Chain A
Amino acid sequence: MRQIRSFVAIAAVTALAAPFQVPAQQPRSGGELVFPVPSEPPSYDGHREETFGLIHPFAPFYNTLLRVDPFDKSGTKPAPSLAESWTVSPDGRIYAFKLRKGVKFHDGSELISEDVKATYDKIIFPPPGVGSTRKGQYAVVDTIRAPDKYEVQFRLKEASGSFISSLLSPYNFVYKAEIIAKDPHWYEKNVMGTGPFKFIEHVKGSHVVGRRNADYWDKGKPYLDSFRAIFMRDSAAQVAAVRGERAHIQFRGFSPAERDSIVSTLGNKVVVQESPWDCILLVSINHEKKPFDDKRVRRALTLALDRHQASTSLSKIAIVKAVAGVQVPGTPFATPPEELNKLAGYWPDIKKSRAEARRLLKEAGVPEGFSFTFTNRGIPMPYEPLGVWLIDQWRQVGLNVKQEVIEAAAYYTPLRKGDFQVAMDFQCGYIVDPDLDMYKFLSFDRNPANYGRYKDPVLDELYDKQSRAKSAEERKKLIRAFEKRLLDEEAHYLMTLQWHRIIPHSAKVKGWTVTPSHYLNNTLDTVWLTQ
């Protein structure tokens, strides 16, 4: 086991250091990349769906206006895609994008600005009867214009620090305007983009095949001849597929035990890339239920948690690791550890923290052995280990917690109705960005997905201010203030531990970099196989 751990550590370090130390290998063309996908999408329309099960097999058929730099490990750096450059007006309200010339759809027609406009009109201003799950994310957009054949302009209602990030969404596949005009539902059942691969087949429940687009605008790419995405729900089957070298990689992530099992079988034929994951389980505290309306009780709940110790112990058995605030550690707006450790529930001295928790509970009139129900979701990893951990931590400050596990598909019914006391909640983003990551915590009347059901105008104001901040430094300060109010002063929501993404993949796979989001880096244009 020690050997495995050492290997994983070496492999992870090697993967991290690779871009700086090892001379870049010459990409090789050819081969078929095979990867399991743990989920299958209901439709092919990126503007409508919410699952990575759509992104992994279907992103290679499309391009987006901008993309995240495929070699940026933080997964936050914007890079050109269909737009080769962009400018922002001095007041921060007009974004103009210059499109590449000569980009062709798979049917041979040229991509022009009208296609981009029609795509974003469908996402932001969908016609009646057309579902767009991301409409709310672009509430700041006023109008979209296509002043000439190769330029698109977005006019915002007000300046937004996160607008570029919102255009990096891997779901915003650019569609053909003519098709959208004829039938806005066409893309739900058909595939036709400008991406590096052309759609060959989708056998439902089985697999998706894509073949190299010889007319791809980025000459020389993609390197792969084809890819085959195989739908595989069971994680044991996914592990067996990678261990048995039937699959090269699984892009979502494996647990530590699964990583060790793959590494022990394949040895140096496997490379492990790891990263903090932009997903986190949160504890939602229903402010409408007594005694959780009292912030002393909520602060006691967070003070009871020994996150630092859990980071060491739970990371051995579950897909969690880093102690985190409202931003993924290591990303531009994340709070440094020394500052984070000043917040309630993050103090390194757990004895002091728990003593304070007991004091607050007593002060709030909560008796020793007070009993409440913790609602958890019926998904084993990582809900189960984190649920057990939370209950154990709360017991250590004299609380008696009963766990109620609800089946995954029915889980959000009681949460939406407010029919719970304390519950596990979940947040996962396609990119680490303050606006996206903190929207969850806005007052209940602004965001019904805030299951804590509280109203906090101060928090809302801080959110709006950071979104409009003129500089990164000013924004950081406002984010810190938001974080302190959310997690410490009011303890509206509790953070558990940041998820940890573990990708053990065949050493034959090159040109792919792990990021904090399992929604990113799946266009596969930079990926190649050594043999």
Chain B
Amino acid sequence: MGYYVLKRLLAMIPTLLGVAVLIFLLLRVVPGDVVEARFLAQGSQFVSQDLMNAERQKLGLDQPLWKQFTTWMWGLARFDFGVSMWTGGSIAEEIKLRFALSLQLAIMASTVATLLAIPLGILAAMKQDTWVDYTVRVFSIAGLAMPSFWLGILLILVMLTAFKWIPPMVFTPIWVDPWQNLAQLVWPALAIGYRYSAVGTRMMRSAMLEVLREDYIRTARAKGLWTKLILSRHALKNAILPVLTVISLEFAFLLGGLVVTEQVFNLNGLGMLFVEAIARRDYTLTQALVMLIATFFLFVNFFVDIAYAWIDPRIRYS
């Protein structure tokens, strides 16, 4: 097991290096830069070329690409993300500000998804081809068909029309005011969680159906074991593996991929920061966010693999 863990950890290094090279080059291929975005986007006429050149020099954009890359890599090796080209503020601070909200939302949405997907998937499999199964399938297909931001807009409109109320617009950490915090985040969590539960429900249902047809389940039933015991001890443990993968990868995605939902609910999260960084050509911040999210994905994958090995001994023995 120790060797397995070490091997997986070491495999992350070349992956991260590849991501770093790719994002660094891709950003420089895109036309425009942070200086243009900052000084020309408002249609200003008095911005001189000298000022723009001086700004580029200050930001190191006049340096050769290899030098910019090595400077960045040297910073990364020391866990120093540097400063945002847009604000001049510390990137670590910029991310820290948004991380709590994004993480909490990802946890809440994943919890909603898990709480819906696993019981509904099991129920649909157990009651295959009955009205229960059909209802669950319609519910999950509706979830797949509706983008979470659209559901978010609907939620806001319903609250506005029916209750003349919309969620708070400023994030309050849960330890400062739990009620205010939940009043803001519970709605996007429901919108996102429902969307992702749909994928999990369908996955759970089909995995469960497959497992329930296995010989060892038939044997367990023949032995006269309780249905509850068969489900929890034998069927669920085997059927949950693909669902675990889906929900975990979605969790990683939720951290930085909720741009539109964050816009709809005006959430100051990592998704919005990411899009703004790209739109402003803030190379340093975009690079840092890509590396952060790539690392997060790799670690989530890593923990899923470890969980696989823990749940299914065949994996760790092989």
Contacts and interface: CB of A to CB of B under 8 A. Distances in A.
- Same complex for A and B? Answer yes
Interface of A: 36, 42-43, 50-51, 129, 131-137, 188-189, 203-207, 228, 230-234, 236-237, 240-241, 243-247, 265, 407-414, 416, 425-428, 439-440, 447-449
Contacts, number: 137
Nearest to B86: A42
A477 B273 CA distance: 50
A78 to B, nearest CB: 21
A205 B47 CA distance: 26
Given A236-B153, A246-B168, A51 B30 contact: no
Dominant secondary structure at the B interface: loop
Contacts of A132: 51
B36 A409 contact: yes
Contact of A409 (B160, B165, B280): B280
B272 A246 contact: no
A393 B58 CA distance: 46
A204 B266 contact: no
B170 A207 contact: yes
Given A234-B263, A237-B263, A241-B166, A137 B46 contact: yes
A232 to B, nearest CB: 5
B138 interface: no
A236 B155 CA distance: 13
A50 B38 contact: yes
Contacts of A412: 32, 36, 40-41
Contacts of A449: 44-45, 47
B88 A50 contact: no
Interface residues of B, number: 51
B265 interface: yes
Contacts of B54: 129, 131
Contacts of B314: none
Contact of A203 (B43, B46, B97): B97
B305 to A, nearest CB: 34
A265 B160 contact: yes
B268 A206 contact: yes
A230 B169 contact: yes
B25 interface: no
A410 B98 CA distance: 27
A230 B170 contact: yes
A440 B273 contact: no
A204 B97 contact: yes
B130 interface: no
A348 B171 CA distance: 54
Interface in B80-101: 86-89, 93-94, 97-98
Contacts of A135: 46, 48, 51
A237 B44 contact: no
Contacts of A230: 169-170, 266
A237 B153 CA distance: 9
Contacts of B58: 129
B31 interface: yes
B166 A246 contact: yes
Nearest to A447: B45
B264 A409 contact: no
B264 A237 contact: yes
Contact of B273 (A188, A205, A265): A205
